[in-house]
Amino acid sequence: MENRFYTAFDTERLIAETPRDDFRSTFQIDRDRVLHTPSFRRLQSKTQVFWSGEYDFYRTRLTHSLEVAQIGRSICQFLKKKSDLLSEDFYIDGDLVEAICLSHDLGHPPYGHAGEMALNKLMGKCGGFEGNAQTLRLLTERIFSSKKTGMNPSRAFLDGVLKYKTLWSELKSVNGGELPKNHFIYDQQVQYIDWVLEGRDFPLELSPGKARDGFKSIECQIMDWADDVAYSLNDLADSVRAGFLTIEKIERWADSRQVSREVGSAVGDLLSAIRGGMIEPMVGRRIGIYLQAVSLEESINFMSGTTNRYHYDLVIESKVKAESELFKKMAYEVVFLSPELNQLEYKGNHMLERLWGLLSERYLTGEKSSYNLLPDAISEELDSAESLELKQRLLCDFMASMTDGSTSRLYKRLFIPDFGSIGDLVS
């Protein structure tokens, strides 16, 4: 049965392709193209909360993305069954949402948000670095690295990945000239915003920044909530199992923030689950509650007449949303700001900065042009780049593509005298 929710506008690809007889839908092809790429596989060795490789029980960017995809698909199934606005032949496509969720962290660099901040600082004078913008760059231009091409996404898929629609220079202007820290796309990517919106200009009320970034397709909204659910609950379980969230720390934090820890409260339930050794079942039940705390409402805006993807908004029950925000705040203040994690973030930041310095000397300024430090294909692309700005972006591409492990190995190979052999893999 054909799904009337989508039209040719939604399934159109960035570059027209020759029609072929394929048993898969447009959105299934999008999903499959993402799954079979090195960029997706590298997520298995990129930090989610804790550095990858030290233990095998906690999430990496890969397992996080898989969980987000499962939650996102379940939300689609729930809405199809429960919403009066949808029907058997008019519904939000689960394959599309799955593809978006699997892709949402593709552009994130090694060492999590610390790595993202480090690369943004290093690229501060040439357009910045942002994980979501880098995801967009991969999907449109770089994901098939051997061919130096993107995956030719469909419009609905690409739009679903776009959490932010404000350009770096626009956000810089809004901030009074201060370099943006996050929540932007690169200036050169304005062409993809134009294509996604079919050339329509944003109305005045959607000014650069939060207002514009809040304008998301329904699939992007589902991905965003699925990401929040996984982040606030699954990462919570990892923090407990890793010993960063203990009963004593949670009680101390709750008391200092005047947050209830009585039986039946969010923190009270968490404490009870830890005492009973039932943190995973507690998280599982909460995921079910969170994904069913959604509904749809109709929306009228400058895109709603063109595509159903902008004709509906996702509504989340306020109590559930508040609980998710509470868990995220606790994890941030107790876990992410802990000395143990901050020390590792400092180390990751130091390694990225020192690698950037050396590779810049070789590939950007030519001060050490006799050294061939990177794989041939990457070196050749850097050396043949026509401008310094492009060289910087390409070097940033390489560093963002590295995993926690490959960054550490390259650092030690270049700077630790007794580490490395001629048989080591460089990338």
CB 97 within 8 A of CB 82: no
Same domain for 145 and 178, yes or no, is yes
213, 228, 257 — which closes off a domain? 213
Specify the 3-state DSSP secondary structure of 46: coil
309-340 per-position pLDDT tens digit:
999 999 999 999 999 999 999 999 998 888 88
Same domain for 293 and 184, yes or no, is no
pLDDT at 49 over 80: no
Residue linked to tokens 């063109």: 306
Cα–Cα separations (whole angstroms), residue 237 to 158, 245, 254, 281, 284: 31, 9, 17, 10, 10
Q: Cα–Cα distance between 393 and 350 in angstroms, integer?
A: 20
Same domain for 99 and 53, yes or no, is yes
State both tokens at 57.
């029980």
Would you give the distance in Å from CA 233 to the centre of its chain? 17
pLDDT at 341 over 60: yes
Same domain for 202 and 258, yes or no, is no
**Domain presence at residue 3:** no
pLDDT band at 53 (very low <50, low <70, confident <90, very high): low
Q: Which residues on adjacent β-strands are paired with residue 296?
A: 314
Same domain for 204 and 352, yes or no, is no
pLDDT at 16 over 80: yes
pLDDT at 169 over 60: yes
Lowest-pLDDT range, 144-148, 262-266, 369-373? 144-148
CB count within 10 Å of CB 304 equals 15
Residue linked to tokens 């929306």: 299
State both tokens at 35.
């799954």
- Mean pLDDT in residue range 98-104: 98
pLDDT at 371 over 90: no
291, 314, 339 — which closes off a domain? 339
Which helix H or strand E contains 426, and what residues bound it? none
290, 312, 339 — which closes off a domain? 339
Q: Cα–Cα distance between 411 and 149 in angstroms, integer?
A: 28
Domain region containing 355: 340-415
pLDDT band at 52 (very low <50, low <70, confident <90, very high): low
pLDDT at 368 over 60: no
Q: Cα–Cα distance between 104 and 403 in angstroms, integer?
A: 17
259-314 per-position pLDDT tens digit:
999 989 999 999 999 999 999 999 999 999 999 999 999 999 999 999 999 999 99
Same domain for 327 and 350, yes or no, is no
Q: Which residues on adjacent β-strands are paired with residue 313?
A: 297
pLDDT at 427 over 60: no
- How many percent of the chain have pLDDT more than 70? 94
pTM above 0.85, yes or no: yes
Same domain for 230 and 365, yes or no, is no
- Report the domain count for the chain: 3
Same domain for 153 and 141, yes or no, is yes
Say which CATH number the domain at 175 has: 1.10.3210.10
Q: Which residues on adjacent β-strands are paired with residue 136?
A: none
State both tokens at 87.
């029907």
Same domain for 132 and 269, yes or no, is no
Per-residue model confidence (pLDDT) at position 38: 92
Same domain for 177 and 276, yes or no, is no
Same domain for 134 and 170, yes or no, is yes
CB 366 within 8 A of CB 272: no
**Domain presence at residue 421:** no
Same domain for 41 and 147, yes or no, is yes
Per-residue model confidence (pLDDT) at position 251: 96
Would you give the distance in Å from CA 310 to the centre of its chain? 21
Per-residue model confidence (pLDDT) at position 345: 87
**Domain presence at residue 2:** no
DSSP 321-355: HHHHHHHHHHIIIIIITSHHHHHHHHHHHHHHHHH
Radius of gyration of the chain (CA): 22
Specify the 3-state DSSP secondary structure of 243: coil
Lowest-pLDDT range, 34-43, 238-247, 285-294, 414-423? 414-423
**Average pLDDT of the residues of the chain:** 92
pLDDT at 353 over 80: yes
- Mean pLDDT in residue range 374-391: 91
pLDDT at 367 over 70: no
Q: Residue 52 burial by CB count (10 A; 0-12/13-18/19+): exposed, middle or buried?
A: buried
pLDDT band at 254 (very low <50, low <70, confident <90, very high): very high
